Amino acid sequence: MWQRPGSGQPLPVFGPTVTPDLGLVRLDVGQLYTVPGSAWVVARTTDTTVPAGKLFAGRLADLGTTRLRWQRLATEADKVVDIALQDNSLYVMTQAGAPRRKVVRIDLNKPMALASQRARTCLYRPPAARG
């Protein structure tokens, strides 16, 4: 649910029955992320049994209107375990191809699927385990 300050009733803006074209299933639990200074809203889902889920982004100004177009950024296969939104960048911690995790930056002005972005921009990968 989303409610703009000073507006009337909260509006449903994301979920299996509200955004059926995104391919969400009944068990997908969604969270919306916004931060001051960012023009974006990020939606992250999980089925609550594993941390990895789907990841979408859209323009915050369009939230609650018919203009909003969610851009799919990741699926369960991308193994997203944490995110941080800052300005026009989304920092994604993933375990895909990195058992000890790595951080990837997605430019939300030029969004592309995480699988494509991951090959281009790895910001941090911990050193291999010793032993």
Q: Write the pLDDT tens digit of every residue in 66-102.
A: 899 999 999 998 899 899 999 999 999 988 888 888 8
| 119 inside domain | yes
Does the residue 105 lie in any domain? Answer: yes
Cα–Cα nearest to 74, from 51, 29, 97, 44 = 44
Mean residue pLDDT of the chain comes to 85
According to the model, what pLDDT value does residue 60 have? 95
In angstroms, the CA 16 to CA 25 distance is 6
Which residues lie below 8 Å from residue 100, measured CB to CB, with a gap of 6+? 125, 126, 128, 129
- Domain-located, residue 2: no
The span from the CA of 24 to the CA of 4, in Å, is: 25
Cβ neighbours of 98 (radius 10 Å): 17
Does residue 39 fall inside a structural domain? yes
Inform me whether the pLDDT recorded for 59 exceeds 80.
yes
In a domain, 31, yes or no: yes
Domain that holds residue 42: 20-124
Total structural domains within the chain: 1
The reply to whether 63 falls in a domain is yes
Q: Per the domain annotation, does 15 fall within a domain? A: no
Q: What is the pTM of this model?
A: 0.84
Q: What percent of the chain has pLDDT over 70?
A: 84
pLDDT of 25 higher than 80: yes
Q: Give the contacts of 114 (CB within 8 A, at least 6 positions apart).
A: 55, 73, 74, 78, 80, 92, 94, 96, 104, 106
**Is residue 44 in some structural domain?**
yes
- Pairing relationship of beta strands 29-33 and 40-46 according to DSSP bridges: antiparallel
